[in-house]
Amino acid sequence: LSRCSLSYTPVNMLAENQPANGGTTLNTVYGFIGLGNMGAPMCANLVAAGMSLRVFDAAGTAERTPQGAVVGDSIADLAANTDTIFLSLPDGKVTHAVCEEVLLAADRRVSRIVDFSTTGPEAAGAIGAKLGAAGITFVDAPVSGGRAGAVAGSLTVIASGPGGDVAQLSAAFDAVGGNTFHVGAVPGQAQAVKLLNNFLSATAMAATSEAVLFGQKFGVDISTILDCVNVSSGRNTASADKFPNRVVTGSYDAGFATALMTKDVALYLEQVRVAGTPENIGAVVSARWNAALTDMPESDFTEIYRHIAGESKTRE
């Protein structure tokens, strides 16, 4: 029960206080906007769990729609024909704009929006307030686990919002993830946990790149370095997963853009400054990711190793 220091309530306990059908009916229709690296496989898992799903993506819906989902025409179409809309969009600005379009839609049916995107606490709070004023419940529900986790249906869902709604969403959250944490009642709390998680992941990726290059300089093979670290005290998500599976293989295909990781770390640092908590390491890590993005704007985030390796070559 103490997996999270905020007011974490296991979702199955919340569910016990809900109607047997979890607040949904056979006629419940779900919408999904944003069928990118994360959204498309999440949709496939929602359909596989038996949910009726209508989807939309601004870059072209039909080619991104998993089998079994209905191709929607527009955001307004989803607002008029679904009960709950899930979002998986690049950032808070886009989530805000999409929610504005939902509010403008004629014949609105949707009564709940669940945002799987990483937007930051401020954006989530503002969006929740705007939707709430128009009678739409907002659940802030960023995810962790990468594209591999989205495909496998093993994402961690970090949710904040009304407990009854989070409980009613447990079947959907189970379909996309292995772990759901209800960290608080207020949209934005989940974003805070998601941002601090990604700051740690970004730090691990950048620090492991520097550490591995140091070992290689002494003529030690990269796989030997990782094998040693991974049964020692320096083990982390980059050394255990990203390096062996995406860097050593040369595939650099984690499915998470450097642009998105840089956005997350910048959002983290911005919110640390608002909160007034220590920022020394955050500032250094954010600067490191900004430099990687300038150098490699279209890259996968695991390519920060290449960026840092390039710098070490120019020093020779």
Strands 52-56 and 70-71: parallel
Question: Is position 281 an interface residue for ligand NAD (rule: CB under 6 A)?
Answer: no
Under 8 Å between Cβ of 116 and 159: no
Distance CA 230, CA 221 (A): 14
Question: Which DSSP string do the residues of 144-169 spell out, in sequence order?
Answer: ESHHHHHHHT-EEEEEES-HHHHHHT
Under 8 Å between Cβ of 15 and 22: yes
Nearer to ligand NAD among residue 190 and residue 207 (C-beta): 190
Structural tokens at position 125: 């709070």
Nearer to ligand NAD among residue 61 and residue 168 (C-beta): 61
**Least distance to ligand NAD, CB of residue 57, Å:** 5
Question: Is position 46 an interface residue for ligand NAD (rule: CB under 6 A)?
Answer: no
Question: Is position 265 an interface residue for ligand NAD (rule: CB under 6 A)?
Answer: no
With CA atoms as reference, report the closest residue to 14 among 171, 186, 182: 182
Question: Is position 33 an interface residue for ligand NAD (rule: CB under 6 A)?
Answer: yes
295 contacts: CB under 8 Å, gap ≥ 6? 307, 310
Distance CA 305, CA 307 (A): 5
Question: Is position 114 an interface residue for ligand NAD (rule: CB under 6 A)?
Answer: no
Contact range with ligand NAD by CB under 6 A, out of 22-30, 56-64, 199-207, 231-239: 56-64
Q: Which of residues 117-136 bind ligand NAD (CB under 6 A)?
A: 117-118
Nearer to ligand NAD among residue 142 and residue 163 (C-beta): 142
In the shown chain, the binding pattern of residues 144 to 173 toward ligand NAD, with x for contact by CB under 6 A and - for none, equals x-xx--------------------------
Question: Is position 110 an interface residue for ligand NAD (rule: CB under 6 A)?
Answer: no
Q: Which residues bind ligand NAD (CB under 6 A)?
A: 33-39, 57-59, 88-91, 94, 97-98, 117-118, 143-144, 146-147, 255-256, 260
